[in-house]
Amino acid sequence: MRGELRGEPRVVRVAAAQMGPIQRTDSREATVTRLCSLLHRAADGGADVVVFPELALTTFFPRWFVDDISQADHYYEREMPSPTTSPLFLAARERKVGFSLGYAELTPDGRRFNTQILVQKDGSIVARYRKVHIPGHATHEPQRKFQHAERYYFEPSNDGFGVWTAFGGRVGMMICNDRRWPETYREMGLQGVELILCGYNTPLNYLPDPSQDRLAGFHNALVMQAGAYQNGTFVVGVAKGGCEEGVDSLAESHIIAPSGEVLAKTVGNGDEVIIADCDLEWCKNYQNTLFDMDYYRRPEVYPRLTSQRGPRLRADGTPLT
């Protein structure tokens, strides 16, 4: 085991810029103005980087189904930055604060991704992540109170989970449902990630199993705190919460330490900025000791992790080996 503990502090001041709802009638310009004001609040607090939610430029449009997907094209960005979003990039450069932003992406060859970017303090894009785990359903389910048709509106990315050098450390991204899967964190953990940034939109009513509704906040914290601790990394989860077009969504944005402890958490479900100083050196206390992966992991006895998607069972319910 390496055993080397934290050295000279490497502090990144991180802001989580939670948003309240974005209604369907809100213009993109008004939303960008709102994002800019959150960015200024974070910069006033001395933040190095500010994290915005998933699909932060629009309402969460997968709650509606349209037979002709091109009718939803206006929810997607064809370029980044664009004339509409450039004020945010200019504000970042002016205030010398980086940011991470989620939005719907429509590529020149017509592919649709749920995307998050990482922007440096000079306003340049350093990284782009496209959502891997796409939840919900791909066809219209009219019996539902509201749709969650992400699997219709977005294709799952095969790019995987990158980790980039930025803000003096190793930074990765994940989007909403990704945070529920341990593989997400581990893929980045195996690249020595120190700071994982995540935006989310989580409806408080899980229609396939309402018994989970009362646990939405618990499960949100559970997965992010576990992912942080088990990989010795900071995790920042940022919500678009509140009641959007009649659908209530979880707020409870978090900044979590490599110990799994919560450093900061929002109290309301509207626009709100929380800030925490994240000393990336703290990661070493976990990554070089109890979770020194190179020393302790046993990939040779985990073959199923990459060779199968779900359990393989016989008709009688016993596992196929």
Please give the positions annotated as active site: 54, 131, 176
- Tell me which residues in 106-165 interact with ligand CDT (CB under 6 A): 135-136, 148
R_g of the chain, CA atoms, integer Å: 20
Choosing from 176, 239, 273, 283, the residue that interacts with ligand CDT (CB under 6 A) is 176
Q: Does residue 200 interact with ligand CDT by CB under 6 A?
A: yes
Backbone φ and ψ of 101, nearest 5°: -135, 135
Q: Does residue 177 interact with ligand CDT by CB under 6 A?
A: yes
Burial of 287 (0-12, 13-18, 19+ CB in 10 A): buried
Q: Is the peptide bond preceding residue 87 cis, with omega within 30 degrees of 0?
A: no
For the bound state, the minimum distance from the C-beta of residue 243 to ligand CDT, rounded and expressed in Å, comes to 16
For the bound state, the minimum distance from the C-beta of residue 54 to ligand CDT, rounded and expressed in Å, comes to 6
Angle at 261 between CA 120 and CA 293, to 5 degrees: 75
For the bound state, the minimum distance from the C-beta of residue 180 to ligand CDT, rounded and expressed in Å, comes to 5
For the bound state, the minimum distance from the C-beta of residue 83 to ligand CDT, rounded and expressed in Å, comes to 27
> Contact region for ligand CDT (CB under 6 A) — 70-78, 80-88, 92-100, 200-208?
200-208
Number of residues that bind ligand CDT (CB under 6 A): 11
User: In whole angstroms, what is the distance from residue 104 CA to residue 85 CA?
Assistant: 13
For the bound state, the minimum distance from the C-beta of residue 1 to ligand CDT, rounded and expressed in Å, comes to 35
Angle at 286 between CA 193 and CA 255, to 5 degrees: 60
Print the binding letters for residues 203-222 with ligand CDT: x by CB under 6 A, - otherwise: ---x----------------
- Tell me which residues in 44-83 interact with ligand CDT (CB under 6 A): 54
Who's near 47: CB < 8 A, 6+ residues apart?
13, 14, 15, 97, 275
Q: Does residue 230 interact with ligand CDT by CB under 6 A?
A: no
Residues lying near ligand CDT in the complex (CB under 6 A): 54, 135-136, 148, 176-177, 180, 200-202, 206
